[in-house]
């Protein structure tokens, strides 16, 4: 079923939930929003393009979920609470069934996290989704990339490599791994719990080594990781694939958090573990210098096949 | 010259100006922004796609200017003052010269309007630009679409039809018209001056009749326009083209403001005319009912060829 641009917008508007701080939502020239007093805004934008970030056989609901999840993951890494999103949707054909499926996924996550879709743009073009999310965080409690200090522990939430394995194996991948690729969970509760505890934080979208590398550069430090300490999901372990370690270290699309914690804060971190459903693990430490060394179980440095993901370099 | 994704981001970051209320700009997981107390946020998103909103021969600097201008025009229509923008840029090839030209145009307008580019996303894909702008407006002074009342005058800023004429005539169009198509001027000062004066406002992006139509639907009223009162630019008048009236009424891309003013506020409007560089003109009045009737110089209703612009219907 083909829809006009205005019918598309109306279809989105009719399903978008509100919030008390949305003074005016979809349907005017701009949304009007009431920010809370005493907090900073955290704003993130991410775009997903067909053929670059997802393939033509993606389930629309998974795409809707993921488009929001990758943005919320950025807010999680800042320890922010998400509030509002704008959606820019370019579609080759205005298809009602596709849009409804897409909204099913997007709004499921939006509802779960209390996010209101307040505006955006729908237009003709190659399939592309660009979302901007806005959240709140007290300015002095936001987690940045540049605060890691020598001696801090390096931690990650959950497990890495699952999404990369699913991408590499396609339909042959176990359902648990495909779920991780298509329905990543932004670690918002964990990010907020790290306020006052973590010294720096980043979300892992391009691969553990690449994203940790950004944190290290921003902080002016280096790191040593021990592969023996890398958490691995039961599904990935069961694969027993020789590419496993590469996926864990350099695979993208995990949307876990990587963060540094000063030794003095480790007790505080341990005390809060019960607050979030994903266990963080200590995988190494911040050292003086630059770059990331990965040590094998015997403490020998490991050569790394690739450093991470660049949307231009790989295509 | 090809650039990596990170080199692209660095190139944007190096040129983006700051603002005191930008606590953390480009380079972390999200921007951190300090909203002013006592004001609402106005948020607008617009996307421009190659082949839909612009052609391959567009000058990159013009495209950069226009991508921001169309968003700022939405804030102008809300009577908001713009502050921050995020830029999502999908590029088929990461070309430094193209990016520099694009930034020349975008940042020229951003600087002129005091807008800081605070974040975004650069990625591979068909050429597409999506911008989200955030501005401020006291919530009770924002101009919405739904406040027009019967008896109010219908006004527009500047002239319409210039951009549509330039699009139709291509290289044969006079420079003054091409400038209007490629470098539209968001009417921000006028929009702010209309606080407390206009009863409703919308920006004209899809054509006067179409956009006024949205205002009428939102307000639950109709309108009568007199073509004898429609302002026309000297360049468009000089063309003496039979399509002229169609361009004025239904051509897109003008980015003027269309607004309603109660009779009791006309004196206040006249007193503020000196504050803005574009003269508004009264082109009709709000009437009971629905829809828009256009009257010729003798007061006879005019048949309308088309109602406006829909990005899906026309392609």
Chain B neighbors of A24, CB-CB under 8 A? 142, 144
Q: Is the pLDDT of residue B258 over 80?
A: yes
- Over range A256-281, report the average pLDDT: 90
- Determine the residue of chain B that is closest to A215 in CA distance: B28
Which of the two residues, B271 and A1, has the higher pLDDT score? Answer: B271
CB-based contact A135 B311, cutoff 8 Å: no
CB-based contact B41 A28, cutoff 8 Å: no
Q: Is the pLDDT of residue B123 over 50?
A: yes
Q: What is the pLDDT of residues B14-66, one digit of tens each?
A: 888 889 999 999 989 999 999 999 999 999 999 999 999 999 999 999 999 99
Instruction: Determine the pLDDT at residue A314.
Output: 39
Bridge partners, B121 (sequence order): B88
Q: How confident is the model at residue B315 (pLDDT cuts 50, 70, 90)?
A: very low
Q: Is the pLDDT of residue A40 over 50?
A: yes
Q: Is the pLDDT of residue A116 over 50?
A: yes
Q: What is the 3-state secondary structure (H, E, C) of A203-263?
A: EECCCHHHHHHHHHHHHCCEEEEEHHHCCCCHHHHHHCCCCHHHHHHHCCCCCEEEEEECH
- Over range B91-108, report the average pLDDT: 92
Chain A neighbors of B27, CB-CB under 8 A? 145, 218
Give the DSSP letter string of A11-60: HHHHH----TTEEE-BTBSSEEE-PPTT-EEEEEEEEEEBTTTB-TT--H
CB-based contact B47 A139, cutoff 8 Å: no
Of A287, A161, A179, the residue nearest A225 (C-alpha)? A287
- Most confident listed range (A96-105, A147-156, B44-53, B272-281): A147-156
What is the rounded CA–CA span in Å between residue A122 and residue A88? 6
Q: How confident is the model at residue B303 (pLDDT cuts 50, 70, 90)?
A: confident
Instruction: Determine the pLDDT at residue B309.
Output: 44
- Determine the residue of chain B that is closest to A25 in CA distance: B43
Chain A neighbors of B40, CB-CB under 8 A? 23, 32-35
The percentage of residues in chain B with a pLDDT greater than 70, rounded to a whole number, is 96
For the beta carbon of residue A51, count every other beta carbon within 10 angstroms.
14
User: SS3 of B80, please?
Assistant: coil
Chain B neighbors of A129, CB-CB under 8 A? none
- Over range A91-115, report the average pLDDT: 93
- Over range B240-267, report the average pLDDT: 94
Q: Which residues of A82-112 are buried (b: 16+ CB within 10 A; e: fewer)?
A: bbbbbbbbbbeebbeebbebbbbbbbebbee
Instruction: Determine the pLDDT at residue B2.
Output: 63
Q: What is the pLDDT of residues B186-211, one digit of tens each?
A: 999 999 999 999 999 999 999 999 99
Instruction: Determine the pLDDT at residue A250.
Output: 93
CB-based contact B43 A145, cutoff 8 Å: no
- What is the CA A199 to chain-centroid distance, rounded? 19
Across the interface, of B28, B34, B144, the residue whose CB is closest to A40 is B34
User: SS3 of B158, please?
Assistant: coil
Instruction: Determine the pLDDT at residue A295.
Output: 93
Average of per-residue pLDDT values in chain B: 92
CB-based contact A119 B40, cutoff 8 Å: no
Chain B neighbors of A34, CB-CB under 8 A? 40-41, 139
CB-based contact B32 A42, cutoff 8 Å: yes
The percentage of residues in chain A with a pLDDT greater than 70, rounded to a whole number, is 96
Q: What stretches of B113-258 show up as alpha helix (H) in DSSP?
A: 162-169, 175-182, 188-193, 208-219, 234-239, 244-250
Across the interface, of B34, B35, B45, the residue whose CB is closest to A120 is B45
Q: What is the pLDDT of residues A185-225, one digit of tens each?
A: 999 999 999 999 999 999 999 999 999 999 999 999 999 99
Q: Is the pLDDT of residue B143 over 80?
A: yes
ipTM of the complex, rounded to two decimals: 0.91
Q: How confident is the model at residue A304 (pLDDT cuts 50, 70, 90)?
A: low
Mutate: best of B2, B5, B25, B29, partner A, most A CBs <10 A = B29
Q: How far is B249 from chain A (nearest CA, A)?
A: 19
CB-based contact B30 A77, cutoff 8 Å: yes
Mutate: best of A28, A54, A210, partner B, most B CBs <10 A = A28
- Determine the residue of chain A that is closest to B125 in CA distance: A49
**What's the Cα-to-Cα distance from B144 to each of A7, A87, B277, rounded to whole Å?**
21, 20, 23
Q: A with B: how many residue pairs have Cβ under 8 Å apart?
A: 233
CB-based contact B203 A29, cutoff 8 Å: yes
Q: Is the pLDDT of residue A266 over 90?
A: yes
Q: Is the pLDDT of residue B135 over 50?
A: yes
Q: What is the pLDDT of residues A56-80, one digit of tens each?
A: 999 999 999 999 999 999 999 999 9
């Amino acid at each position: 079923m083909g829809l006009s641009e205005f019918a598309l917008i109306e279809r989105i508007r009719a399903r978008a939930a509100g919030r008390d701080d949305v003074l005016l939502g979809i349907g005017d020239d701009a949304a009007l929003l009431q920010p809370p007093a005493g907090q900073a805004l955290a704003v993130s934008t991410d775009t997903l393009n067909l053929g670059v970030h997802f393939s033509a056989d993606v389930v629309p609901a998974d795409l809707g979920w993921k488009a929001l999840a990758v943005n919320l993951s950025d807010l999680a890494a800042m320890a922010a609470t998400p509030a509002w999103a704008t959606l820019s949707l370019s579609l080759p054909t205005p298809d009602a069934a596709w849009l409804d499926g897409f909204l099913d996924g997007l709004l499921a996550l939006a509802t779960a996290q209390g996010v209101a879709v307040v505006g955006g743009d729908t237009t003709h073009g190659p399939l592309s989704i660009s979302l901007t999310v806005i959240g709140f965080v007290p300015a002095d409690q936001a987690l940045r990339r540049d605060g890691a200090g020598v001696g801090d522990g390096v931690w990650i939430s959950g497990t890495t490599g699952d999404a990369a394995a699913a991408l590499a194996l396609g339909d042959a991948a176990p359902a648990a791994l495909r779920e991780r690729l298509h329905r990543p969970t932004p670690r918002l509760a964990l990010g907020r719990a790290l306020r006052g505890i973590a010294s720096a934080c980043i979300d892992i979208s391009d691969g553990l080594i690449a994203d940790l590398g950004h944190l290290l550069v921003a902080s002016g430090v280096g790191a040593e990781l021990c592969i023996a300490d890398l958490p691995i999901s039961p599904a990935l372990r069961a694969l027993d694939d020789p590419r496993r370690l590469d996926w864990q270290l350099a695979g993208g699309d995990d949307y876990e958090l990587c963060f540094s914690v000063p030794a003095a804060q480790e007790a505080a971190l341990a005390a809060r573990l019960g607050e979030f459903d994903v266990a963080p693990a200590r995988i190494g430490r911040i050292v003086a210098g630059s770059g990331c060394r990965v040590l094998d179980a015997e403490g020998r440095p490991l050569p790394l096949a690739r450093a991470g993901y660049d949307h231009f370099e790989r295509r």
